[in-house]
Amino acid sequence: MAKYFITTPIYYVNARPHVGHMYTAVAADVMARHYRNQGSEVLLSTGVDENSQKNVEAAEKAGIPIQKYVDQMAQVWKESFDGIQITYDTFIRTTSKEHETAVHAMVDAMQARGDIYLGDYQGYYCVGCEEFIAEKDLSEGKCTIHKTEPKVIQEKNYFFKLTKYRDALLAWYKNSPDAVRPESARNKMLSYITDEMQDISISRQAGKWGIRFPQDDSHAVYVWFDALINYLTVTGYPSQGYEKMWPADLHLIGKDIIKFHCAIWPAMLMSAELPLPNTIFAHGFFTINGEKISKSLGDAIDPRDLLKDYPLDAIRYYLLREIPFGNDGDFSVVRLKERFNSELANGIGNLVSRTLTLVEKNCPNIAFVKGQSLDVSSHIEHLAFDKALTDIWHEIARLDGVIDEKKPWELAKAGKSDELETVLQSVLAGIANISHELEALLPETAESIQGLLSASPIKKPAEPLFARKD
């Protein structure tokens, strides 16, 4: 059996999930559902990063112990992803014993290669990014993302010999054209690896929260170094058998974290002599009023609020179709409503309703065979979700056109029952095929349509698949 291992990033738990997190999770869920339908053994991994200093600060602000805080918030995130029906196979928490074991094994493997050394660090550190920042990347002395002044840190840390792997990384990029996508992320990382990459600090001497550094518990493992290893943890690494699912077939990430995933992570794997992931895909940002969605800036949209007004599949449809995956785009509730009414209510909802009304009235026991005229697998496998949905909606328009042209109500009135059944069989076959192609993209809609088509006798829907919104 073929395998397919897909990951989302793991998320800080200093606030609730917002629609940007849902975007990544939905895309990963589409891929997982698709490959399960293809017969592959799928591992979809998501989860939370609990070893962040941001989480410590959030716990202090809430006035509760850090472990109690991350326990509570991890459950919030898990329930949120369950609420949007993400079909993850494992939900990792980086405070788990299994993850600590994997991190220690990774450090040990890299130390055995002579790739870790003790050195001095001084520089700017943004707590919001959990990252050291070069002075040239500040804007008026502030982090460009969080709009805050970074801390100046000077301490003795353990370092990873990242520069040792510069040539190997460049060779990987050259020999694996699909390793980092899209092209914009690939080009940015090639520039970074060639011109800017330096050895990186992988511990924090001042850190009191987090995984202790092997053989030196006066240091905590740097949160980003620890977080990347989660992708190995969920395979069972370092226990025997982790190779069944490793390497990852697809890491889905936001483009703000490409340096960690597309340069540091593959170099870590090279150091530990482990296979590299097949593809790392960096999607774009949703913005609101031109600003990146940010929990810290208070402009995040909670999926729970959207679900009060729209069914889950409507939100999935908007997220997957509005912006080509990999591009930036502005999130708009106005656009969500427009697409809902024009493409869901007036599109697929109306097609199903008008067709089944005609069938129920004229030939409820009609027999039909699902057609084979539509296949969007290639689009999904290339993460072109918008193209997959565009093709499906072209088919919806075509079937509506068949009904408008053939006028089955006039055929019924004229007593042309054979011709009437032929037309309706053709449209029903097309709808059945559409429902099949929607199984990974809009699973609730696909299930609803298939339930209607499998009924005997066939009846029109008791209520619309998507009721228009005024």
User: Catalytic residue at 292?
Assistant: yes
Distance CA 457, CA 313 (A): 27
User: Catalytic residue at 436?
Assistant: no
Helix H or strand E encompassing 31: helix 19-37
The CA-CA-CA angle for residues 222, 224, 230, to 5°, reads: 110
Set 142, 292, 337, 406: catalytic member = 292
* 458 DSSP 8-state letter: -
Two tokens at 465? 């698949």
Two tokens at 382? 């290339």
Set 99, 104, 295, 379: catalytic member = 295
Two tokens at 99? 């993850």
User: Catalytic residue at 295?
Assistant: yes
Helix H or strand E encompassing 238: none
Beta pairing class for 280-283 and 151-160: unpaired
User: Catalytic residue at 261?
Assistant: no
Spell out the alpha helix ranges (H) of 163-204. 166-175, 183-195
Residues contacting residue 35 through CB under 8 Å, at least 6 positions apart:
2, 4, 6, 42
Two tokens at 446? 């696909």
User: Catalytic residue at 21?
Assistant: yes
Residues contacting residue 87 through CB under 8 Å, at least 6 positions apart:
29, 32, 33, 36, 44
Set 146, 164, 416, 469: catalytic member = 146
User: Catalytic residue at 174?
Assistant: no
Question: Which backbone phi and psi does 279 adopt, to 5 degrees?
Answer: -145, 135
Angle between helices 417-437 and 443-454 (to 10 degrees): 150
Partnered with residue 156 across adjacent β-strands are: 120
* 150 DSSP 8-state letter: P
Burial 390-416 (b: 16+ CB within 10 A, else e): eebbebbeebbeebeebebeebbeeee
Q: CA–CA distance from 186 to each of 9, 238, 261 (Å)?
A: 18, 30, 11
CA 341 from chain center: how many Å? 26
Burial 284-323 (b: 16+ CB within 10 A, else e): bbbbbeeebbbbeeeebbebeebeeebbbbbbbbbbbbbb
Set 18, 379, 436, 460: catalytic member = 18
Set 34, 104, 126, 379: catalytic member = 126
Partnered with residue 44 across adjacent β-strands are: 6
Set 54, 99, 104, 129: catalytic member = 129
Closest-CA residue to 455 (of 324, 379, 364, 393):
364
Set 34, 54, 143, 261: catalytic member = 143
Catalytic residue numbers read 18, 21, 126, 129, 143, 146, 292, 295
